[in-house]
Amino acid sequence: MSTYLEEYKKKLVTADQAANVVKSNDIIEYGMFATKPVDFDTALGRRVGQVENVAIRGTGGVPPFPAVVQNDLEQKSFQYFSWYFTMLDRIQSDQGRTCHLPFNYHEATILAYNQELYHIKPKIWCAQVTPMDKHGCFNFGIGNSHNRAMALWADIAIVEVNENLPKCLGGNDEYVHISEIDYIIEGTNTPAYATPKMAAPTPEEKKIAELIVSEIESGSCLQLGIGSMPNLIGEMMAESDIKNLGIQSEMFCDAMVTLYNAGKITNANKSMDVNKSTFSFCLGTKETYDFIDENPRLASCKVYHTNSPDNIAMHEKFISINNIVEIDLLSQVCSETSGIRQISGTGGQLDFVIGAFHSKKGKSFLAFSSTYKDKKTGEVKSRINPMLTPHSVVTVPRSMVQYVVTEYGMANLKARSIWGRAEALINIAHPDFREGLIKSAKQLGIWSRTNRIPF
């Protein structure tokens, strides 16, 4: 450590001093998810009126609310952008303070190393990191993702040290060296944002989980998405006869701790990163953060490593499980918007849908309850509709959809005709909506009662 102490002291600044480096028209990249800076952001928020037209990009906003947005009510100093929307980002977007940046998640590091894309090159990168180790390295903790790529691409790299971040071993790209950064902020060590415990699953979710778990074999490699459904599936697998599982997932979630504790995860059958659970970021409870801290059974990697469809497909029996918002009778899937309103993002869903299908004996599952209750009207609506809600975004093209699952059943849409897809989807829709869907399918010309071919 003594080798780097003098350099550390020279680069050590206050949050306000670091924020004063920002100039009008700069592009700033914040750390991903719970590695976004807190003290630097607060200090930058105090510069409202001193700078103009500063763009700030984040990924998956978590509390606290960004000070640069909260303080800049008229958007003259700062404009916030997000690569992936969370509830926090939705709130900001509804108020006109945040704009979405669409992309496939595995492309994040590719974008950062593409020198022709100067319009997105950050002037400044700032993220929370763990304290420097004896080798002069700062670990990205629960947000590897594309942090290193952005840190090296930016003209100015700033780290905000937080002693409360768990240290996640590599893997690859899990650190930045003191020689690669310009400024160090010793932060106020705010607790790393932890997710609350998931609500109790609904009967519909339990049925969906049972259907998916019945399709998972021992020796499978798993990707679990965000939300209560993947965690429920993990808990069911922990109580099943399934064993010898592997993990390659963009996110390490609470369910994976449950599976480890049940002795279900060995990673012995993986084709790469053997004996390691590979992930790129973590959002979970404090207990999950304690589990991953310096755990040699896990490997924190850049998102290209975890999400590249080619890397995913290398594993036999790859199982991808994700939630969706809506699907239409043409089998187009929307997982990220409600009409024009952005609610999440493409993220890695398409990456894993493609990769899992290309895996030998692999399966991609898109899961959703057949209905939902409109919060404004209280009306029960179907998630399977004749066409997607107007202005909704297609997250997974119909040609790439494999298994879709509701509480009423499971359908494999691969190699099915337009007629066959419509019929299969209607068969797993809520019974109250099936006749209406048949009528719409006939009007659209995608339904034939005379068809006797089984697809």
Give tens-digit pLDDT for 255-270: 999 999 999 999 999 9
Biggest CA pair distance of the chain: 81
Judge whether residue 147 has pLDDT over 90.
yes
Kindly report, residue by residue over 17-33, the tens digit of the pLDDT.
999 999 999 999 999 99
Q: What is the pLDDT of residue 452?
A: 66
Binned at pLDDT 50, 70 and 90, residue 451 comes out as low
Which sign, positive or negative, has the C-alpha torsion 298, 300, 301, 307?
positive
What is the rounded radius of gyration, in angstroms, for the C-alpha atoms of the chain? 23
Give the residue-averaged pLDDT of 277-284.
96
Q: Would residue 74 show up in a list of annotated catalytic residues for this protein?
A: no
Q: What is the pLDDT of residues 31-66, one digit of tens each?
A: 999 999 999 999 999 999 999 999 999 999 999 888
Q: Is the model's pLDDT at 135 over the cut of 70?
A: yes
What is the rounded average pLDDT for all residues in the chain?
94
Distance CA 177, CA 135 (A): 8
Q: Residue 148 above 70 pLDDT?
A: yes
| Three-state secondary-structure class, residue 184 | strand
What secondary structure does DSSP assign to 12-75, as a single string?
Answer: EE-HHHHHTT--TT-EEEEEEGGGS-SHHHHHHHTTBTTB-SEEEEEES--SSPPHHHHS-TT-
Position 432 pLDDT exceeds 90: yes
Classify each residue of 2-41 as buried b or exposed e, where b means 16 or more C-beta atoms within 10 Å of its C-beta.
eebeeebeebebebeebbebbeeebbbbbbbbbbbbbbbb
Domains of the chain: 2-186 (3.40.1080.10), 203-444 (3.40.1080.20)
| pLDDT given at position 390 | 96
- pLDDT band per the 50, 70, 90 thresholds, residue 449: low
Q: What is the pLDDT of residue 117?
A: 77
Tokens representing 203? 């009967």
Tens of pLDDT, residue by residue over 61-116, are 999 888 888 877 667 899 999 999 999 999 999 988 899 999 999 999 888 877 77
**Contact (Cβ atoms closer than 8 angstroms) between residue 60 and residue 108:** no
Catalytic site residue from 29, 205, 235, 250:
250
Q: What percent of the chain has pLDDT over 70?
A: 98
- Residue environment code for 251-282, b if the CB has 16+ CB neighbours within 10 A, otherwise e: bbbbbbbbbbebebbbbebbbebeebbbbbbb
Is the Cα torsion angle 85, 87, 88, 91 positive or negative in sign? positive
Check pLDDT > 90 for residue 453.
no
pLDDT of residue 455: 79
Both tokens of 28, joined, read: 């700033």
CB proximity list for 245: less than 8 A, separation 6 or greater: 218, 219, 220, 221, 222, 237, 259, 264, 265, 266, 267
Closest CA to 364 of 416, 321, 395: 321
Dihedral (CA of 286, 302, 58, 47) sign: positive
Q: Does pLDDT of 136 surpass 90?
A: yes
Q: The whole model's pTM is what? A: 0.95
Q: What is the pLDDT of residue 199?
A: 80
Confidence of residue 325 (pLDDT cuts 50, 70, 90): very high
Q: What is the mean pLDDT of residues 436-448?
A: 92
| Cross-strand bridge partners of residue 98 | 80
Q: 235 CB contacts (<8 Å, ≥6 apart)? A: 255, 258
Which residues 6+ apart lie within 8 Å of 192 measured at CB?
Answer: 34, 141, 142, 162, 164, 165, 166, 289
Backbone angles phi, psi at 20, to 5 degrees: -70, -10
Token pair, residue 215, equals 């399709």
CA atoms 148, 151, 154, 155: torsion sign: negative
